[in-house]
Every structure is written in C-alpha cells, then in structure tokens.
Chains A and B, each alone.
Chain A
Amino acid sequence: MLVVSGLLTAYLIRTTTAWQRTSAEWEDLARTHGTELAQVQTDLEAAQAELTDTQTQLAAAQQRITELADEKARLGDTSASQQQLADYQARVSQAAGQVATALANCIDGQQRLIGYLRDADQYDPSDLQRFATDVDRVCGAATDANAALQRELDR
C-alpha cells in the first residue's frame, strides 16, 4: 500500500516537473514568435508607407507625363500653324514679286511703244503691230500674276 502510494507520488512529481518545463518552453516559443510578429508588423507598416509614397509619386508622374504630352502637342499645333503662316507669306511674297516684275515689264514695253508711235512714220507698221502685240502679252502676264496674288490673299 505504502509502496504504491510512493510510486504514485513520485510519478506525479515527475509529471508536474515535466509539465512545468514544457510550459516554460512554450512560453519561450510564444515570446519568440511574438517578437518576430512585431518585427513583421513593423516591416509591413514600413512597406505600406513606402507603397503609399510610391503610389503618390506614380500619380504625380502620370499627371506630369500627361501635362508634358499636352504641352508638346500644343507646341506642335503652334509650330504647324506658324509653318502654314510662313508658307502663306512666302507664297504671297513670291506672287507679289511676280506681279511687280510683270508690271515693270509691262510699263517698260508700253513706254517704248509710246515712243515708237510718236515716230510711227519711221517704223514699219507691221513691226509696230507685232511690238504692240508683245506688249499686250507682257501686260497680260502682269494681269495673270496679279490675279494669282489675289487668289493667294483670299486663301
């Protein structure tokens, strides 16, 4: 009877000691994981803050890209319009120059024709007629050049 009670008591003491040791080990394990969890949570918060910053920067970059694309496009529009204006002015200048040249030729021819007609008896009438026809053609060219200039001005 006493032996059984002794054995039982020894077993209970050994079991209790083992459970105490196991409990301490579990506590250590829980603290270790708790420390790791705290570190992971800190890392997560830092990563989330970094992600938020990155998203903000991305949004700003996208907005800036859109603005720059718009600025570039509008500069292209302005450049194209100015090129068209420059082309137009070049065409008008060229047409005006042609008008001036043709008019000068016309006036010169008419003045020479007037001189010839003052002394008409000194020239062959057929030569005078041919010269007058040439003067008409030159002056007609001036009229055409002026019409071309007016068309350019109307565009």
Chain B
Amino acid sequence: MTRPGLRALSGLALLASVTGCAVLPAMPAPVPSSVIPNRAPAPAPTSSGNLSPDGFDAAQRMAVRIRNIGCGSVSTGSGFAIDANTLVTNRHVVADSSALQLSTYDGRDVGATAASTAGLADLAIVRTAEPLPAAPELADADPATGDAVTVVGYPLGQRLTITTGSVLGATTDPLNVNLGEVLVTDAPVEPGSSGSAVLDTDGRVVGVVYAKDAEGHSFVVPVSTLRAMLDDESAFTAAPTCT
C-alpha cells in the first residue's frame, strides 16, 4: 500500500473511533430491589348496601308468616315488612282472629301488637312488638303488562318459597273486595300465599297477592292501591276479632 493510502486508512480509523463514541453502549442502570408497584389502599365501603348479614337475600328476610288463631279454626297466610315494626298482608288473612302469631324467615317469633284492615281493599297492616329483619322499598308505579315479577311467601303454610312469573294485565276484581283494578300474573301461588309481596326485578314491591283462580293465575293488589291506603290513615280500622 502506498503512503497516501496508509494516511487515508488511518484517517478513516480515527474518524470511526471518534464518531463511534457517540454510539458506545452506556453503563446499565442499577437493578431495583423490587419491581412490584405500590398498591393504592382499597377504599373502605361506606355502607353494607344490599349485603345480607346471614346470606339470606332481602326478599326472604322481609317475608313474615302469619298464623291466625280464630275461634274454632287455625289458618295461615303471608305478609311482608314495610318498616321495622309494620307489616302488610291481606284483610282476610287477619280477619276474625282471637290472636295473631308471626314468625320470620329464620323461624324467629315476633309478637303482634295490633292489626287493622282496609275497607276498600283486601289489605291489612299489623304492628309488631319486635323489629322485623328487613323491609323492602315500595315501587313508585304499578308494573306494566309483561313485566317480570317475583312472589315471596308461604304457600299452604309451608316453607318460604320464591316463585316467578310475569304480569298478564289488569282487570276488575273478580271477588269484588278491592276498589279499582287489580293485576293478574302467572306467578304460581297457593292458599297461604295471600299477603305475599310481589317484587319487580329491582326487588321493589309492586303488589300484594290476594287470590288465585282455577287457571293458575294470581291476583294482585297493585302498589298504587297500597300506597293510597297507606297514605290515608282513615283507610284502616281495627281488624274484626272473634271471641
């Protein structure tokens, strides 16, 4: 190689080494002791919401079994709490009794202090001595035809049962015990289911079961009637008793 060639090669090597410094690998960063990210503290719940203290859902906890000790007869019906010491049922469930005996979903006995019945609907309210486990919310409006409903009660006086169905429509009361229209559903009920709460998909009360027919339809006092009765203190009078 000629002398000028060597000079050129040396110049290129020097240039490469100088420019190469710009792309030389840097020293590695120190390795951290942990790469687990810090976790934000979980927010504490502000309320228990709809959580149940014993695993039973609200629909079961609000149900009340009613035993009507009459004069020469014993009958059973269903009811549901609307506040800590008040439950709603049917007029015919509490009528002509010498004593009412109440029990909750878990078999706890609750004393009844007074019962009163509505004159214009098959509805009654019973006051209790001890607090009831849970009370549902009343819906603002009656359910529409086709809406799904759930019935919670004690058919035939047997174990607490939940059945489902849908609203078939409204009709005049076939028994003529209620003022205004009543609802018809296909939710299965039996004697003893009278006074059961009818719930919508949000767990709100939309009616009260009071009768059934031979075709398996259940008849329901709508929540609008229940609200109207509850809003009018004069609508309820002391339930008739027997001696």
Which residues on A are within 8 Å of B, measured CB to CB? 1, 4-5, 8, 11-12, 14-15, 18-19, 21-22, 25-26, 29, 33, 58-59, 61-62, 65-70, 72-74, 76-77, 80-81, 84, 88, 155
Residues of B with Cβ closer than 8 Å to A? 10, 13-14, 17-18, 20-21, 24-36, 54-56, 65, 67, 69, 72-74, 76, 101, 103-107, 154, 157-160
Chain B interface mostly: loop
Chain B contacts for A74, CB-based, 8 A: 157-158
Contact A19 B28 (CB under 8 A): yes
**Across the interface, do B31 and A26 meet the contact criterion of CB distance under 8 Å?**
yes
B159 and A80: CB pair below 8 A? no
B94 to chain A, nearest CB (A): 15
Lowest 7 CB-CB distances: which A-B pairs, in order? A69-B107, A70-B159, A25-B31, A22-B28, A80-B74, A72-B107, A58-B55
Given A22-B28, A72-B103: A77 in contact with B74 (beta carbons within 8 A): yes
Question: What separation, in Å, do the CA atoms of A95 and B77 have in the docked complex?
Answer: 33
Known: A66-B159, A69-B103, A77-B74. A4 touches B14 (CB 8 A): yes
Alpha-carbon distance A155/B73, docked complex (angstroms): 10
- Are A69 and B159 neighbours in the complex by a CB distance under 8 Å? yes
Contact of A1 with B24 in the complex, beta carbons under 8 Å: no
Whether the pair B20, A8 counts as a contact (CB closer than 8 A) is: yes
For the complex, give the distance between the alpha carbons of A155 and B18 in Å. 121
Nearest Cβ on chain B to A100's Cβ, whole angstroms: 24
Decide if A5 touches B25 in the complex (CB within 8 Å). no
Bound-state Cα–Cα, A66 to B73, Å: 26
The docked-state distance in angstroms from the alpha carbon of A70 to that of B14 is 98
- The reply to whether A80 and B72 form a contact with Cβ atoms under 8 Å apart is no
A74 to chain B, nearest CB (A): 7
> Quick one: which of A4, A15, A19, A26 contacts B24, CB cutoff 8 A?
A15
Among A65, A66, A73, the most chain B Cβ lie within 10 Å of the Cβ of A73
Q: How far, in Å, is A26 (CB) from chain B's closest CB?
A: 6
Besides A29-B32, A69-B105, A74-B158, 7 other A-B contacts (C-beta < 8 A): A21-B28, A33-B36, A62-B56, A65-B56, A70-B158, A73-B103, A80-B69
A76 and B106 CA atoms in complex are apart in Å by 14
Beyond A4-B17, A65-B106, whether A15 also contacts B27 by CB under 8 A is yes
A68 contact from B25, B65, B67, B107, Cβ within 8 A = B107
- Nearest-Cβ distance from residue B119 to partner chain A, whole angstroms: 28
Q: How far is the CA of A74 from the CA of B106 in the complex (A)?
A: 14
Question: If A73-B67, A73-B103, A74-B157 touch, does A19 touch B25 (CB 8 Å cutoff)?
Answer: yes
Query: In the complex, what residues of B have CB within 8 A of residue A19's CB?
Result: 25, 28
B67 contacts A76, C-beta separation under 8 Å? yes
- Cα distance, A25 to B32, chains bound together (Å): 9
Given contacts A22-B28, A29-B31, A84-B73, contact A1 B103 (CB under 8 A): no
